[in-house]
Amino acid sequence: MKAWLIGGLALVRSLLAIQHVDCTTQFGPCPDDLRSRAQFLVGTAMYLPLPSSQIAQAYSGLPQVAQVTASRHFPNRIEVKLVLRRPIAVVEGSAKEWLVVDDQGLVFESRSQSALPLISFTTPVEVGTHLAAEQLSAAKMVVAVAEIVGQTVAGKVDGNTLTAITSNGVEIVLDVNKAQNDWGASLQSIWARSKIDGKLMHKIDLRFNGATVSF
Q: What is the pLDDT of residues 99-135, one digit of tens each?
A: 999 999 999 999 888 899 999 999 889 999 999 999 9
Residues 8-66: pLDDT tens digits?
Answer: 344 444 557 999 999 999 999 999 999 999 999 999 988 888 899 999 999 998 999 99
Which of 59, 165, 74 has the alpha carbon at shortest distance from 117? Answer: 165
Q: How many other C-beta atoms lie within 10 A of the C-beta of residue 68?
A: 20
What's the rounded Cα separation, in Å, for the pair 81 and 183?
38
**Other Cβ atoms closer than 10 A to 152:** 14
pLDDT for 96:
81
Fold of 2-84: Ubiquitin-like (UB roll) (3.10.20)
pLDDT in tens, 137-153: 999 999 999 999 999 99
Pairwise CA distance, residues 112 & 129, whole Å: 19
Q: For domain 87-214, give the CATH number.
A: 3.40.50
Residue type, 58: A
Give residue 56's identity as a one-letter amino acid code: A
Whole-model pTM: value is 0.81
| CA distances in angstroms from 210 to 142, 174, 184, 190, 197, listed in the order given | 20, 12, 13, 12, 20
Rounded Cα gap, residues 78 and 39, in angstroms: 10
Q: Are 141 and 161 in contact (CB under 8 A)?
A: no
Question: Where do the domains of the chain lie?
Answer: 2-84, 87-214
Distance CA 146, CA 180 (A): 17
Nearest Cα to Cα of residue 118 among 136, 100, 105 = 100
Task: Categorize the per-residue pLDDT at 197 as very low, low, confident or very high, splitting at 50, 70 and 90.
Answer: confident
The whole-chain average pLDDT of the chain stands at 90
